[in-house]
Amino acid sequence: MSDLIIHHYDMSPFAEKIRLALGVKDLAWRSVQTPMILPKPDHCELTGGYRRVPVLQLGADIYCDTHLITRVLDQIQPNPPLSPPGQEGVDLSVSRWAETSFMIVILAYFGIGDVFPEDFVEDRKNTMIPPDMNLEGASHIVGTKLLQLRNNIEQLESMLADGRPYLLGDSVSTADLSAYHPLILLGMHERTQAQLAGLNAVAEWMTRIRKIGHGEVIPFQSTEAIEIARTSEPVAFEGDPVYPDGMKEGDQVLVLPDEYGSGSVTGQLAPSGIREIAIHRSTERAGDVIVHFPREDYALLALS
Ligand SMILES: N[C@@H](CCC(=O)N[C@@H](CS)C(=O)NCC(=O)O)C(=O)O
């Protein structure tokens, strides 16, 4: 059976990015469904408190954030690459820009109202919206958000205007998956769906991406995933580790995600290269695990 375990939920656009990445590589993977709202005891048992999805588990190694997960998938299965060799910087830039559509759509839906289930709205209001952001005011910015969305989608249309099948050329890349996943939410309301009107290249591209599929999905239970972590050893880091100035392996640290409400994680600093942060944690149910984050977007605070 596949060693790849993805912790996610079906409605998550960011998880769709990774499900499609697994489809691009035609991989089999075990699918653990995580709750959409807090509490998420089994998910956080593995991550140490990071609540977002998707999360990739490989034995006792836990990889948080799609920006890291796509890189790990490229290491595990280099062909076809998710980030075209020589175009990694372009791929990353387009991905980061295109994913701004995600929060644009979410804020438009908060403003429109009655799109998401009530418990979901309450959870996000209470735990994921910064205290200085007044969601009641979201109804006043719906028009602005819809135009921001249209602007982003028109940029995609112009990138595809020369007839190329994918944003960076002939092969699908992370840029496509990052641009596509926020758009799967548009059908939830006619006002967002309308932003696709007349953009035929985008519509055809979306169909092309959807057809990639998700690889081979094997349903799996979170308790079994925790047991796999407990009975596995984290993979030893190879190479020259890098640490922030003044920190060293074993220091007690707090990982602070830039994205508000992701949940912070404490543990001992573990060796890692420049592209990721690694934290060692020990729990009764999951045993010794290493939780990995992409270097970008995550800060480290020394606790000792
Ligand atoms: N930067 C993260 C963003 C992931 C993200 O925001 N995921 C959403 C679901 S699409 C989430 O986890 N929301 C909070 C939750 O489900 O508890 C990544 O690239 O993985």
Q: Would the CA dihedral through 199, 202, 208, 210 be positive or negative? A: negative
CA of 50 to the centre of ligand 1 (A): 10
Q: Phi, psi (5° rounding) for residue 120?
A: -70, -45
Q: What is the DSSP letter of 271?
A: -
Cα 163 to middle of ligand 1, angstroms? 32
Closest-lying ligand 1 atom to the alpha carbon of residue 12: 10
17 lines ligand 1 (CB under 6 A): no
Ligand 1 near 71 CB (within 6 A): no
Ligand 1 atom nearest to 13, measured from its CA: 10
Q: Which two tokens stand for residue 281?
A: 């944690």
pLDDT at 2: 79
Listed residue (241, 227, 244) closest to 289, CA to CA: 227
Q: Which of 14, 68, 178 to mutate to test the pocket of ligand 1 (most atoms within 8 A of CB)?
A: 14
Q: Which atom of ligand 1 is nearest to the CA of 261?
A: 14
Rounded Cα distance, 153 and 186, in Å: 11
What is the token pair recorded at 268? 């001992």
Q: pTM here?
A: 0.98
**Nearest ligand 1 atom, CA 51:** 17
Pocket test for ligand 1, best of 18, 52, 69 (most atoms within 8 A of CB): 52
What pLDDT, on a 0 to 100 scale, did the predictor assign at position 188?
A: 98
Structural domains of the chain ordered from first start: 4-80+216-302 (3.40.30.110), 88-210 (1.20.1050.10)
Distance 239 CA to ligand 1 centre (A): 30
User: What three-state secondary structure class fits 38?
Assistant: coil
Tell me the CA–centroid distance for residue 246 and ligand 1, in Å: 31
Task: Answer whether 52 contacts ligand 1 (Cβ < 6 A).
Answer: yes
Token code pair at residue 116: 């998401």
Q: How far apart are alpha carbons 186 and 98 in whole angstroms?
A: 15
Q: For every one of its 304 residues, what pLDDT tens digit does the chain have, with 9 covering 90 and above?
A: 779 999 999 999 999 999 999 999 999 999 999 999 999 999 999 999 999 999 999 999 999 999 999 999 999 999 999 999 999 999 999 999 999 999 999 999 999 999 999 999 999 999 999 888 888 889 999 999 999 999 999 999 999 999 999 999 999 999 999 999 999 999 999 999 999 999 999 999 999 999 999 999 999 999 999 999 999 999 999 999 999 999 999 999 999 999 999 999 999 999 999 999 999 999 999 999 999 999 999 999 999 7
Q: Whose CA is nearest to atom 9 of ligand 1?
A: 12
The pLDDT value recorded for residue 132 is 86
- What does the pLDDT read at residue 142? 97
Q: Burial, 29: exposed, middle or buried (Cβ in 10 Å; 0-12, 13-18, 19+)?
A: buried
